[in-house]
Amino acid sequence: MINSPKRLNRLLSTCIIAASVFTVGGLGINTVQADETCVSPYMPKITGQEDFVYVWTLGAEGIGDEQDKLVTVDANPKSKTYGKVLSTVSVGGRNEAHHAGFTDDRQYLWTSGLDTSKIFIFDVHTNPAKPVLTKTITDFVAKSGGVVGPHSIYALPGVMMMTGLSNNKDHGGRTGLVEYTNAGEYVATHWTPVDGDLQGADKTGKFADGYGYDVRALPRRNLMLTSSFTGWSNYMMDFGKMLKDPEAMKHFGNTVVEWNLHTKQPKKVFDVPGAPLEIRCALESNHNYCFTSTALTSKIWLIYADKKGLWQAKEVADIGVPSQIPLPVDISIQSDDKLLWVNTFMDGKTRAFDISDPFKPTQVFEQKIGAQVNMVSSSWDGKRLYYTSSLLANWDKKGTDNEQFLKAYNWDGKALTEQFAIDFTKEKLGRAHQMLFGAYALYGANKPAVALEAPKVNIKK
């Protein structure tokens, strides 16, 4: 519900801009949801060449200043400093730096720490090459009523929606969604449905665990989806120790939740066993489906609207050899809805799946990126892919296998060709995790490289 005149006018203005969307590269741009990097459909997208990659980086003991930091890298091949670090901004201490997201106007970048639950807000519009830390939120747990570990940070009109991973009562996986204004003021907490408190949601299978991880929306279908992972007690534990702890291994999420996007009310809880992580939704206006992958069971799942328009969940493909637990982590859907990139942490590989038939994904490409790999981000045109290495501070590999990097590749439809690589350990930066793109054109400089559009929405007073 949009109950503020200012927010209503802002949303109406955005929708007017949407009416003048132009076509890029022959592709009609409609509601979007993809990498570049999986940004919200409510913000401008970089459809041309990105100028920067912002890397939210974990501080590492004995490496540089040992602090979490935002690292800005030149990503424009025409630049004299292409592939080089342009700036770093340290935030003080190690907070388990993890995910990040832009505000709907893309002028500010919010980043979070899974351990301290601090949120760091950067100005990325005044000088996109040199972001500035403008605000730190330190009372997230208290304001939210006990949510711990802000993870996905996702722009809705005038607000930031954040998933939690845990809570301050038992540090388990029970958690919720938390809303803040773009100015950094707390709005509301929406607890994920759990057995005993389904909040009117339909429990469709065995599980209603209340866990959280990622959040994505399809506004034209009034749909919001969340996935599930594990709580603070697990994600802050040494990975090897956790794998040997039978009790710890019982505490992973097994659900995806369907929410009413406008009312923020949960509608259905789906069984998706094995810790479903990132959610990526199709881009074409007639493609009513999203994908997720399960870390522990190595499966691709499809969340789709059936012939009656009701949302369902279905396992549709294996990732690698599931019995070997390759540990799928990040996924990226390309803007033509034809390829889904899937990274697997343990073998350091990226795989491309042909998803022309979303019910039958087929692996068509595979390449080793490093000893370990986590995040993958695709440019809008699908010609450039970026990879980072760090999963969690206590889950990254040890010794020589603890490679920490940002790598950039060109993709010609058949092969990945490395363009540059930055060794984050050698450069004394830390552990490279989340990536997001920046461009001068977003803020009126140089020739515009972005398409401004917004989804169709129903506005309720």
Q: What is the pLDDT, as a whole number, of residue 22?
A: 28
Whether residue 162 is contained in a domain is answered as: yes
pLDDT at 359 over 80: yes
b or e along 432-460 (b: 16 or more beta carbons within 10 Å of the residue's beta carbon)? Answer: bbbbbbbbbbbbeeeebbbbbbbbebeee
Whether residue 458 is contained in a domain is answered as: no
Mean pLDDT of 335-347: 95
Q: What is the pLDDT, as a whole number, of residue 298?
A: 98
Residue 12 binned pLDDT confidence (cut-offs 50, 70, 90) = very low
Whether residue 459 is contained in a domain is answered as: no
Whole-angstrom Cα distance, residue 437 to residue 35?
10
pTM of the model: 0.90
Give per-residue pLDDT as tens, 386-432: 999 999 999 999 999 999 999 999 999 999 999 999 999 999 999 99
| Angle, CA 155 vertex, CA 149 and CA 158 arms, to 5° | 115
Contacts of 261 (CB under 8 A, 6+ apart): 217, 218, 219, 222, 223, 224
Higher pLDDT, 5 or 164: 164
Whole-angstrom Cα distance, residue 404 to residue 398?
11
Whether residue 63 is contained in a domain is answered as: yes
Whether residue 115 is contained in a domain is answered as: yes
Q: What is the pLDDT, as a whole number, of residue 19?
A: 31
Q: Give, for 255, the enclosing helix (H) or strand (E).
A: strand 255-260
The distance from CA 213 to its chain's CA centroid, rounded to whole angstroms, is 9
Q: What is the pLDDT, as a whole number, of residue 327?
A: 97
Mean pLDDT of 47-74: 97
- The DSSP string of 323-386 is GG---EEEEEE-TTSSEEEEEETTTTEEEEEE-SSTTS-EEEEEEE-SSS---EEE-TTSSEEE
pLDDT at 446 over 70: no
Q: Which two tokens stand for residue 344?
A: 């697997």
Which long-range CB contacts under 8 A does 201-204 form with residues at least 24 apart? 201/257, 201/258, 201/265, 201/266, 201/267, 201/268, 201/269, 202/267, 202/268, 202/269, 203/269, 204/268, 204/269, 204/270, 204/271, 204/313
Task: Report which of 413, 396, 400, 293 is spatially closest to residue 343, judged by C-alpha positions.
Answer: 293
Whether residue 457 is contained in a domain is answered as: no
Contact 79, 128 (CB under 8 A): no
Mean pLDDT of 213-233: 96
Poorest-pLDDT segment among 147-151, 348-352, 449-453: 449-453
**What do you get for the CA distance between the two ends of the chain, in Å?**
7
Please provide the average confidence, as pLDDT, over all residues in the chain: 90
Amino acid identity of residue 442, one-letter, is L
Q: What is the CATH number of the domain that holds 390?
A: 2.130.10.10
Whether residue 456 is contained in a domain is answered as: no
Total domains present in the chain: 1
Residue 277 binned pLDDT confidence (cut-offs 50, 70, 90) = very high
Q: Give, for 271, the enclosing helix (H) or strand (E).
A: strand 266-271
Q: What is the pLDDT, as a whole number, of residue 35?
A: 55
| Angle, CA 174 vertex, CA 372 and CA 224 arms, to 5° | 80
Task: Please report, rounded to a whole number, the percentage of residues in the chain having pLDDT higher than 70.
Answer: 89
Mean pLDDT of 144-152: 98
**Alpha-helical regions (H) of 139-283:** 140-144, 232-235, 239-243
| Angle, CA 37 vertex, CA 80 and CA 305 arms, to 5° | 155
Whether residue 170 is contained in a domain is answered as: yes
pLDDT at 452 over 70: no
Q: What is the pLDDT, as a whole number, of residue 36?
A: 73
Residue 38 binned pLDDT confidence (cut-offs 50, 70, 90) = confident
Q: Which residue range forms the structural domain that includes residue 258?
A: 5-451
SS (H, E, C) 411-451: ECCCCEEEEEEEECCCCCCCEEEEEEEECHHHHCCCCCCEE
Give per-residue pLDDT as tens, 314-329: 999 999 999 999 999 9
Contacts of 396 (CB under 8 A, 6+ apart): 239, 372, 389, 390, 402, 404, 431
Give per-residue pLDDT as tens, 238-250: 999 999 999 999 9
